[in-house]
Amino acid sequence: MDLRGKAPGRGAYLCADPACLELGLAGAGAGAPGPGGTLAKALEVPIDTRQAEKLRAELAAAAKERRANA
């Protein structure tokens, strides 16, 4: 997870709200992309359950870090 948006390589912007991640993982409803949802489509890689949990944990840790530094 790149909080500054400066890391090289492919990426997708998501707001810091966990609901944004869940929406990206789930897709946009009926007819949405398969596993990993719209986030997987944007990154052009499948996102399995293990990877989704890792993303959730990283987002939670990032939010905690931001609160501590605020």
Cα 40 to Cα 66: distance, rounded to the nearest angstrom: 26
Q: What is the pTM (predicted TM-score) of this model?
A: 0.72
Contacts with 27 (C-beta within 8 Å, 6 or more apart), sequence order: 33, 37, 38
Q: How crowded is the C-beta side of 33, counted as CA atoms within 13 Å? A: 18
Q: Are 68 and 3 in contact (CB under 8 A)?
A: no
Report pLDDT digits (tens) over 21-50: 888 888 655 454 456 688 888 888 888 889
Q: Are 12 and 39 in contact (CB under 8 A)?
A: yes
